[in-house]
Amino acid sequence: MNIASLPIVFSPEVRAALDKGQAVVALESTIITHGMPWPDNVQTARLVEDTVRAEGGVPATIAIIEGKIHVGLDDSAIEWLGTAKDVMKVSRADLAFALSAGKHGSTTVAATMICAHLAGIGVFATGGIGGVHRGVEETMDISADLTEFARTPVAVVCAGAKALLDLRRTLEFLETQGVPVIGYQTSDFPAFWSRSSGLPVPLRADSAEVIATMIDMRRKLGLEGGVVVANPVPAEDEIPAAEIEILIAKAVAEAHAAGISGKAVTPYLLSRMLELTEGRSLKTNIALVLNNARLATRIAVAISQK
């Protein structure tokens, strides 16, 4: 693969950091365009970047602007993205189209992994990953994030998967795909707004160094695909599972009744949860993203020191 022939633009800061082998952390942009309302989306994107810098890393927010992959966005690009209306939600299936047709696009976890890997970035922080949706028996709705973990070698730090999903089936799917799911300082798979889903996490690591060593070992073994690092939301910011479950059930039932399908499902559910929790879900979402940015940078720093 010849990266020079690709429509990919690096910010000077990210280019310099990659050339020097410094710790760089990829950040997604669907959370900005489809995951949070303005102005919290823009404020959070900036805070996440500040958090990466405070831990000694360089943030690389990834998005598609006029048909080019941008790796590293400046402040005005983040502001524009957070208010723009004509931005496609771009996953693996949409990436080549968005680039060919000169579109603007925000990248999901799956598409951000692809772009990060092309750019030479191995660690990525997000909020929650996509997964197997409740009602999958009928809808077949399984996020393309899950198959991406099996093919693209990027470590994704998340707060588990949203409790809106079918978490038991999400873990089963990842196991079948051979994707390591590592709980950070926890033995329970986190459920995004809550610290525990009640399901055991398959693997556990208690330090960023252990995770960095394990990523390096996977590379040496020639194992394809990435790893999921599941980092529970800080206790002071969590919404206990028992409190939020009733609201989740309501949002999921409404989405089914309204016939919401495809890419629209996750954004619909996130915005309904924001309304049903009267903003509390958003506060938790912001806290967990920052927490993930911190851990992702520690892992990236540990890898850069190897």
Binding site for ligand PSU (CB under 6 A): 28, 30-31, 34-35, 91, 108-109, 127-128, 130, 143-145, 263, 266, 270, 285
Residue type, 213: T
- Look at residues 18, 86, 38, 20 and name the one whose alpha carbon lies nearest to residue 271: 38
Question: Is position 138 annotated as part of the catalytic site?
Answer: no
C-beta of 193: minimal distance to ligand PSU in Å?
9
Q: Give the one entry of Mn ion, ligand PSU, none that residue 30 binds, where binding means its C-beta sits below a cut-off of 5 to 8 angstroms depending on kind.
A: ligand PSU
Sign of CA dihedral 8, 93, 114, 108: positive
| Smaller CB separation from ligand PSU, 143 or 152 | 143
| Smaller CB separation from ligand PSU, 233 or 302 | 233
Alpha carbons 126 and 145: distance in angstroms, whole number: 12
| Smaller CB separation from ligand PSU, 184 or 192 | 192
Q: Within 10 Å of residue 131's Cβ, how many Cβ atoms?
A: 25
Q: Give the one entry of Mn ion, ligand PSU, none that residue 145 binds, where binding means its C-beta sits below a cut-off of 5 to 8 angstroms depending on kind.
A: ligand PSU
Q: Give the one entry of ligand PSU, Mn ion, none that residue 285 binds, where binding means its C-beta sits below a cut-off of 5 to 8 angstroms depending on kind.
A: ligand PSU
Question: Is position 250 annotated as part of the catalytic site?
Answer: no
Alpha carbons 159 and 22: distance in angstroms, whole number: 25
Q: Give the one entry of Mn ion, ligand PSU, none that residue 241 binds, where binding means its C-beta sits below a cut-off of 5 to 8 angstroms depending on kind.
A: none
Instruction: Please count the residues of the chain.
Output: 306
Alpha carbons 248 and 257: distance in angstroms, whole number: 14
* Count of residues touching Mn ion (by CB under 5 A): 1
Residue nearest to ligand PSU (CB): 35
R_g (Cα) of the chain, nearest Å: 18
Q: Give the binding range for Mn ion (CB under 5 A) out of 64-72, 111-119, 136-144, 285-293.
A: 136-144
- Pairing, β 87-90 against β 104-107: parallel
C-beta of 150: minimal distance to Mn ion in Å?
17
Q: Give the binding range for Mn ion (CB under 5 A) out of 5-13, 141-149, 161-169, 173-181.
A: 141-149
Cα 65 to chain centroid, rounded: 19
C-beta of 84: minimal distance to ligand PSU in Å?
15
Alpha carbons 266 and 174: distance in angstroms, whole number: 19
Q: Give the one entry of Mn ion, ligand PSU, none that residue 31 binds, where binding means its C-beta sits below a cut-off of 5 to 8 angstroms depending on kind.
A: ligand PSU
Please identify which of the residues 55, 89, 148, 162 carries the catalytic annotation.
162
Please identify which of the residues 28, 49, 148, 238 carries the catalytic annotation.
28
Alpha carbons 203 and 183: distance in angstroms, whole number: 6
Sign of CA dihedral 173, 223, 95, 231: positive
| Smaller CB separation from ligand PSU, 92 or 298 | 92
The reply to whether 141 sits near Mn ion by the rule CB under 5 A is yes
- Look at residues 147, 184, 150, 143 and name the one whose alpha carbon lies nearest to residue 165: 143
C-beta of 141: minimal distance to Mn ion in Å?
4
- Look at residues 241, 142, 245 and name the one whose alpha carbon lies nearest to residue 190: 241
Residues tagged active-site:
28, 162
